[in-house]
């Protein structure tokens, strides 16, 4: 889907430039922005390596495991359908810890692993369980305590105070999490099969 979207944007830009007689400006912008993209990636590498290394140290030292155990009482009411033998809750906790510090590159593999484990524990393979839906919502509308990636982008753009957005990020992400969780609890009973009990998340 994204391939079609980006291809459509490129074609639209080219057609628009031809119709308006701005092909030269389009070519210049494409070259300048391609160079700028490479520069931005290089500028972000340092911060990404720093926080990714910190996340790896936290994993190997057992810090993330301790944090996941601390978060378990909070997450358990949101993921009632996860069996006790399932490792998904631990992976979800680690995923949310990575989200808290804004590490998108660390969130993705943890999120994929957690979703695979939720799918393995899902008895009905024809539909996503409520726990899977809840995890997608929490992973997408995540609460970010330290917006690392956004702060690094602001720093690369020349901001003198890249972390001044923290209060706004807290408020916005908290509102998104609360509204997303409320939507799951509100709408999931409407799409749950009739044979499923209300307190079951399978």
The tokens of 2 are what?
């994204």
Q: Which two tokens stand for residue 145?
A: 């305590």
Asked if 97 and 107 touch (Cβ cutoff 8 Å), the reply is no
Angle, helix 2-20 to helix 23-61, in steps of 10 degrees:
150
Instruction: Report d(CA 43, CA 40) in Å as an integer.
Output: 5
115-171, pLDDT tens digit by residue?
A: 888 888 787 778 888 888 888 888 888 777 877 778 878 887 888 888 888 888 889
Q: What is the mean pLDDT of each run of 10 residues along the chain (202 residues)?
A: 81 85 83 80 74 74 75 78 72 78 68 85 80 86 78 82 87 89 85 53 44
Helix or strand or coil: residue 79? coil
- Among 176, 180, 151, 177, smallest CA distance to 164 is for 151
Between CA 105 and CA 200 the distance in angstroms is: 33
The pLDDT assigned to 194 comes to 56
Q: Which tokens hold the place of 176?
A: 């998104």
Q: Domains of the chain: which residue ranges?
A: 46-191
- What's the CA gap between 102 and 142, in Å, rounded? 9
Token readout for 90 is 């631990």
Cβ-based neighbour number of residue 59 at 10 Å: 16
Dist CA 143 CA 170 (whole Å): 7
């Amino acid at each position: 889907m994204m391939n079609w979207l980006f291809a459509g944007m490129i074609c639209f830009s080219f057609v628009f430039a031809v119709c308006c007689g701005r092909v030269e400006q389009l070519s210049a912008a494409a070259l300048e922005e391609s160079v700028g993209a490479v520069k931005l990636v290089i500028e972000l590498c340092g911060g990404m390596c720093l926080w990714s290394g910190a996340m790896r140290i936290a994993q190997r030292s057992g810090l993330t495991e301790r944090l996941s155990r601390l978060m378990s009482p909070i997450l358990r009411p949101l993921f009632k359908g996860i069996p006790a033998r399932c490792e998904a809750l631990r992976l979800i906790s680690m995923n949310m810890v990575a989200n808290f510090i804004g590490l998108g590159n660390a969130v993705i593999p943890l999120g994929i692993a957690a979703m695979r484990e939720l799918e393995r524990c899902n008895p009905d393979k024809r539909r996503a369980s409520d726990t899977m839906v809840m995890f997608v919502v929490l992973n997408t509308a995540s609460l970010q305590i330290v917006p690392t990636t956004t702060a690094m982008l602001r720093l690369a753009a020349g901001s003198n105070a890249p972390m001044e957005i923290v209060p706004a990020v807290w408020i916005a992400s908290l509102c998104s999490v609360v509204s997303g969780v409320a939507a799951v609890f509100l709408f999931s009973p409407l799409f749950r099969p009739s044979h499923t009990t209300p307190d079951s998340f399978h």
